[in-house]
Homo-oligomer: A and B are copies of this chain.
């Protein structure tokens, strides 16, 4: 094997850890630096999601790294959205008409632990915790770090640097504050924030509600969701506006009003939230933001994962997109015959449009999850799509399936096709051009034709 360069990877979260592992497998010498303590030894700090949705794009990247069997053991399948109406009724809306297509709940700590344990098998990786990056000198490829234990600054230099330091990336901030090149960047917050709560196991020490589903309580402007944990509990997330409406984060200021809100809006969930009043005030309220930037690289440094493209959580694709970054980077690395300078260019060019697409799709889904899921026309659309996926497993995939289960289709293509398909079906339903007298085959033809027309219009205008 060729003598590979020395890489500095800043951030040993999910993306940085998989990247370090993959690059170590290629024979690179790696310094992997993390600001937090080793999560295998200390409890996860508050304010980061405890569990996450793991689906096919993430799986593809783990398979590349030879970890498909190991990761499978820590996944909890979720076959669909379990919708909870205000009167306590539930309805399972499957994610796909194909039975082998589902998503998984995974513990962030378990997943990161798996990756760190693999990384430590490589002598060529130097894993450093408790060192926070203060600034990156882009010209000299040197990161300035603060060693929390010894309370001193140290400099680390490498041939190439990867910023995988998450949504609040210090590496990105270093790009933002320089004047040597034009750096486009955006940070957009939603009017909603989120807060995590917990459904503990029930008296029989089992899951309090159906284990293998992603639970949603859609309430128009606000919603609650719950994902299963391996310890029979659920991590519950409340999405609520900061202001406006009858209840919001700014007016839920005492235990009584919090209790009133949950009893009224989420009565069945309230019954299984014994620690609501404590958790609500102990756990932070966090903002929901989208970060985009361009270019992702300058000189010998590059951004990857959330540092390059943080997205809102409504498609369950944030982690998947970060892992897919590593997969796509690896493809580019092979294409460029392990020339990292060229790989930075080709990876950024190839991946940026897909990162933008999943950011936009995640915003689409915010609106869909909190309100559309309960609307009649969307339920009718969903029913048709599930029937099409079941009857024509090769020929039809909904937008959700394109994004989540078709890991060979780039996000941008999934977005463009999926959006046009959604528009086509809604428009056909509106004009009563789809009905039960037609065969599913006729319906598919009509949907495909209308979708194609819509996409042509977009294409003509953009090219």
Q: Is the CB of A185 closer than 8 A to any CB of chain B? A: yes
Residues of B within 8 A of A91 (CB): none
| Chain B residues within 8 Å of A456, by CB | 427, 430
A275 touches B (CB below 8 Å): no
- A186 touches which one: B185, B367, B453 (CB < 8 A)? B185
A140 at the binding interface (Cβ < 8 Å) = no
The answer to whether A461 and B422 have CB atoms under 8 Å apart is yes
- A184's partner among B182, B189, B422, B427 (CB-CB below 8 A) is B189
Chain A 369-388: CB-based contact to B (< 8 A → 1; otherwise 0): 00000000100000000000
Q: Are A287 and B460 in contact (CB under 8 A)?
A: no
A457 sits at the interface (CB 8 A): yes
In the bound complex, CA of A422 to CA of B456 (Å): 12
Query: Which B residues are in CB contact (< 8 Å) with A182?
Result: 189, 242, 287, 289
A residues 282-330 in Cβ contact with B at 8 Å? 287, 289, 292, 294
Which residues from B are CB-within-8-Å of A188? Answer: 184, 186, 294
Tell whether, in the assembled complex, residue A460 and residue B185 are in contact, meaning their CB atoms are under 8 Å apart. no
In the bound complex, residues from chain B placing their C-beta under 8 Å from that of A189 are 182-184
Contacts of A185 in B (CB 8 A): 186-187
Chain B, Cβ-Cβ closest to A420: B457
Decide if the interface of chain A is mainly helix, strand, loop or mixed.
helix
What's the interface size class on A, roughly?
20 to 34
Contacts of A183 in B (CB 8 A): 189
Q: Give Cα A272–Cα B456 distance, bound, in whole angstroms.
A: 42
- When the two chains form their complex, are residues A457 and B187 in contact, meaning their CB atoms are under 8 A apart? no
A186 vs B294: C-alpha distance in the bound complex, in angstroms? 11
A422 and B189 CA atoms in complex are apart in Å by 32
A441 CB within 8 Å of chain B: no
How near does chain B come to A361, taking the closest CB pair, in angstroms? 12
A457 adjacent to B427 (CB under 8 Å): yes
CA distance A187 to B186 in the complex (A): 6
CB neighbours of A289 from chain B (8 A):
182, 184
Min Cβ gap A436→B in Å is 21
Is A419 in the interface zone, CB < 8 Å from B?
A: yes
B423 touches A458 (CB 8 A): yes
**Interface residue? A273 (CB, 8 A):** no
Decide if A454 is an interface residue (CB 8 Å cutoff): yes
Closest to A368 in B: B461
Query: In the complex, which residues of chain B have a beta carbon less than 8 angstroms from the beta carbon of A292?
Result: 186
Q: Does A424 contact B (CB under 8 A)?
A: yes
A238 at the binding interface (Cβ < 8 Å): no
Q: Does A209 contact B (CB under 8 A)?
A: no
A426 within 8 A of B: yes
Query: When A and B form their complex, which 9 residue pairs have the shortest distance between CB atoms, in order from nearest?
Result: A186-B186, A423-B457, A426-B460, A182-B189, A184-B188, A427-B457, A184-B189, A423-B461, A182-B287
24 contacts between A and B (CB under 8 A): A182-B287, A183-B189, A184-B186, A184-B187, A184-B188, A184-B189, A184-B289, A185-B186, A185-B187, A186-B292, A188-B294, A367-B462, A377-B460, A422-B461, A423-B457, A423-B458, A423-B460, A423-B461, A426-B461, A427-B457, A427-B460, A430-B456, A430-B460, A454-B454
